[in-house]
Amino acid sequence: MRVGVHKVLMNSPADVAGLERLIEAGEVAPAEIVAVIGKTEGNGGANDFTRALATLSFALALARHLGITPDAVAKRIAFVWSGGTEGVLSPHATVFTRSAAPAAASKRLAIGIAATRDLAPEEVGTMVEVRLVAEAVRRAQAEAGIADAADVHYVQVKGPLLTPAAVADADSRGARLVTRDPNGSKPYARGATALGVALALGEVAEAALGDEAIARRMDLYSSVANTSAGGELSKCEVLLFGNAEGAGGDLRIGHAVLRDVVDAEGVRAAAASAAGEPGELREPGAAIDPAGIAAIFAKAEAPPDGRLRGRRTTMLSDADIHYERHARAALGAVIASVTGDGAIFVSGGTEHQCKPGEAPIAAIVRV
């Protein structure tokens, strides 16, 4: 089994021409596509509809190739879009395929996909969600064929937030919620799913966890989780990436921790981590080959107190541009200054994903 990673540039959120060219050229077989992770050129906020347009457009195109309905495509393939291409970030989709292949001599990139059951609104942001996600992460790890949690480098999780409809539903049943504020539920939702990853991978002990820790005990975290919350789904979907014995192909994944949004060294460390063979990891800061980088996935975060390396930034006090947009613009440019490529996945919101102010970055490289 081998994982294919295909970057498709997009001229608009509805642009599937790049995908069609890959299919026509025989580089991607529609039936082998398992996931799509991409950036769209919306504002990244509650009224960003570019994600929906991209999903609908990709689903329509693939429905024609697969002979199924667009709805069936969206059930079969995991779509993760992050809105907001600030600075030099370039709208694109990374298409992941899985196909039969002989095992390589050493560990290679593998993907596992799993989902939880539907969550009730009162479970969102609670230990119930943490445990359900942990269980899904374990299944995804098993599906990927990764024996050692240390070989897991990137876990993308999408989960539900509390929509006004969910709040109303809970009210009608007298159920108690972590918050009644839809936007305010995002930290809980992103945080609980990140802690689920941390629990499954042994990054935190179950004894340290509890409802009251979620979105509060920021010393508990995963260094490989990358989570988001949306109103369009009611279960959690897990996309787990790591290196597995027995996997084929020529790709490997690694990760590092970004100290802040200008941490170019962290970008290099992620690439070096991916490139290094087990037991002989190149030291961080080693020269990297930008051309060998197939994809990068990172989180951008404003400094908790607005100060970056002692200098005040205006991200948190800007009423015109949301701080996540400032943070993505900065980190995207710094990554591109290292790799030369603005078509990278950078999203915002890092509750329980590294220490406050820090953020995870994963790189897939050709070996």
Pick out the residues of the known binding site for substrate: 51, 82-83, 190, 228-229, 328, 347-348
| Beta-carbon contacts of residue 261 (< 8 Å; ≥ 6 apart) | 300, 301, 302, 308, 327, 330, 331, 334, 359
Q: Is 42 in the site for a second copy (CB under 8 A)?
A: yes
Give the DSSP letter of residue 38: E
Closer by beta carbon to a second copy, 117 or else 312: 312
Smallest distance from a second copy to CB 190, Å: 17
Q: Mark the segment that binds a second copy (CB under 8 A) among 138-146, 152-160, 276-284, 305-313.
A: 305-313
Q: Is 301 in the site for a second copy (CB under 8 A)?
A: no
Q: Is 334 in the site for a second copy (CB under 8 A)?
A: yes
354: helix, coil or strand? coil
Q: Mark the segment that binds a second copy (CB under 8 A) among 16-24, 109-117, 258-266, 273-281.
A: 258-266
Q: Is 57 in the site for a second copy (CB under 8 A)?
A: yes
- How are strands ordered across the β-sheet holding 152-160? 108-115, 237-244, 152-160, 225-230
- Catalytic one among 158, 185, 222, 223? 158
Rounded (10°) CA dihedral 68, 71, 76, 78 = 140
What is the CB neighbour count within 10 angstroms for residue 305?
11
Smallest distance from a second copy to CB 109, Å: 23
Q: Give yes or no: 228 in active site.
A: yes
Q: Is 75 in the site for a second copy (CB under 8 A)?
A: no
Which of 29, 208, 291, 321 is close enough to bind a second copy by CB under 8 A?
Answer: 321
Q: Is 343 in the site for a second copy (CB under 8 A)?
A: yes
Smallest distance from a second copy to CB 1, Å: 31
Nearest to 330 by CA among 46, 159, 84: 84
Contact indicator for 260, 358 with CB cutoff of 8 Å: yes
Report how many residues bind a second copy under the rule CB under 8 A: 62
Q: What are the phi and psi torsion angles at 332 (to 5°)?
A: -60, -40
Q: What distance in Å separates the CA atoms of residue 315 and residue 234, rounded to the nearest whole number?
A: 32
Closer by beta carbon to a second copy, 91 or else 242: 91
Q: Mark the segment that binds a second copy (CB under 8 A) among 170-178, 207-215, 243-251, 340-348.
A: 340-348
Closer by beta carbon to a second copy, 278 or else 290: 290
Give the DSSP letter of residue 261: T
Cα–chain-centroid distance for residue 345?
8
Helices 264-275 and 323-339: angle between axes, nearest 10 degrees: 60
- Catalytic one among 223, 228, 273, 299? 228
Which of 1, 36, 336, 365 is close enough to bind a second copy by CB under 8 A?
Answer: 336
Q: What are the phi and psi torsion angles at 311 (to 5°)?
A: -105, 135
Binders of a second copy among residues 88 to 127 (CB under 8 A) are 88-92
Give the DSSP letter of residue 306: S
Q: What are the phi and psi torsion angles at 154 (to 5°)?
A: -160, 120
Tokens of 345: 């996945």
Q: Is 350 in the site for a second copy (CB under 8 A)?
A: no
| Beta-carbon contacts of residue 341 (< 8 Å; ≥ 6 apart) | 90, 290, 293, 296
Closer by beta carbon to a second copy, 56 or else 367: 56
Residues recognised as catalytic: 158, 228
Q: What is the binding site for a second copy (CB under 8 A)?
A: 9, 11-14, 41-50, 52-53, 56-57, 60, 70, 85-92, 261-264, 308-309, 311-315, 317-322, 325-327, 329-334, 336-338, 340-343
